[in-house]
Amino acid sequence: METKTDAAIIVRALSALAQEHRLAVFRLLVQAGPEGLPAGVLADALAVPASSMSFHLAQLANAGLVTQKRQSRSIIYAADFAAMSTLMAFMTENCCGGVPCEAAAA
**pLDDT tens digit string along 12-61?**
999 999 999 999 999 999 999 999 999 999 999 999 999 999 999 999 99
What per-residue confidence (pLDDT) applies to 65?
Answer: 97
User: Residue 41 contacts by C-beta under 8 Å, 6 or more apart in sequence?
Assistant: none
What per-residue confidence (pLDDT) applies to 104?
Answer: 55
pLDDT (average), residues 52-71: 96
On whether the 4-105 domain is CATH 1.10.10.10, my answer is yes
Percent of the chain surpassing pLDDT 70: 89
